[in-house]
Structure 1
Amino acid sequence: MQSRRAGNMLAAFSFVLWGILPLYYQFLPQANTNELLALRIIFSVPVMLLVMLLLKRPLPTISTLLADKKSLFMCFIAGCIMSVSWYAFTWAITHGEVLAASLGYFINPLFAIALGLFFLSERLSKAQVAAVALAIIGIGYQVWQYGELPWLSLIMGSFFAIYGLTKKYIKYDALTSVTIEAAVLTPFAVIYMIWLYLSGDSVSLTSGATTFLLYVGSAPVTVAPLIFFALALNRTSLTMVGLMQYIEPSLQFLLAVFLFGEVFDQTKAVSFGLIWFGLILCTLEALPSLFHRKKKIALPH
Structure 2
Amino acid sequence: AAVGIGFAAVLVLAIGYGQPPWISLVLAFSFALYGLVKKKVNIGGLESLAAETAVQFLPALAYLVWLGGQGTLAFGSHGAGHTALLAATGLVTAIPLVCFGAAAIRVPLSTLGLLQYLAPTFQFLLGIFYFHEAMPPERWAGFSLVWLALTILTWDA
Letter in 2 for 1:170: V
In the other structure, the counterpart of 1:138 is 9
In the other structure, the counterpart of 1:224 is 95
Give the deviation of 1:192 after TM superposition.
Answer: 0.9
Letter in 2 for 1:225: P
Give the deviation of 1:209 after TM superposition.
Answer: 3.6
Q: Matched residues in 1 for 2:22 and 2:66: separation?
A: 29
In the other structure, the counterpart of 1:149 is 20
Structure 2: 5+ residue stretches without partners: none
In the other structure, the counterpart of 1:264 is 135
Question: Within 5 Å, which residues of 2 pair with 1:247-258?
Answer: 247-258=118-129
Question: Aligned match of 1:200 in 61, 71, 84?
Answer: 71
- SS of the residue 1:261 aligns to: coil
Give the deviation of 1:235 after TM superposition.
Answer: 5.5
Q: Matched residues in 1 for 2:67 and 2:91: separation?
A: 23
Distance 1:184 1:237, change over 3 A: closer
Distance 1:202 1:267, change over 3 A: farther
Give the deviation of 1:179 after TM superposition.
Answer: 1.1
- SS of the residue 2:41 aligns to: coil
With a CA cutoff of 8 Å and minimum separation of 6, indicate the structure with the bigger relative contact order: 2
Structure 1: 5+ residue stretches without partners: 1-129, 287-301
Q: 1:135–1:275: 8 Å Cα contact kept in structure 2?
A: yes
Q: 2:38–2:105: 8 Å Cα contact kept in structure 1?
A: no
Deviating beyond 6 angstroms after TM superposition, the runs of 4 or more aligned structure 1 residues are none
- SS of the residue 1:184 aligns to: helix
Letter in 2 for 1:270: A
In the other structure, the counterpart of 2:36 is 165
Give the superposed CA RMSD: 2.6
Q: Matched residues in 2 for 1:243 and 1:268: separation?
A: 20
Give the deviation of 1:249 after TM superposition.
Answer: 2.3
Q: Matched residues in 1 for 2:115 and 2:81: separation?
A: 35
Query: TM-score normalised to the size of structure 2?
Result: 0.81
Q: Matched residues in 1 for 2:124 and 2:93: separation?
A: 18
In the other structure, the counterpart of 1:180 is 51
Question: Within 5 Å, which residues of 2 pair with 1:85-104?
Answer: none
Share of identical aligned residues, percent? 35
Give the deviation of 1:171 after TM superposition.
Answer: 5.3
Letter in 1 for 2:38: K
Query: TM-score normalised to the size of structure 1?
Result: 0.46
Give the deviation of 1:273 after TM superposition.
Answer: 1.2
Give the deviation of 1:227 after TM superposition.
Answer: 2.4
Q: Matched residues in 2 for 1:211 and 1:263: separation?
A: 35
In the other structure, the counterpart of 2:148 is 277
Question: Within 5 Å, which residues of 2 pair with 1:236-247?
Answer: 238=109, 240-247=111-118
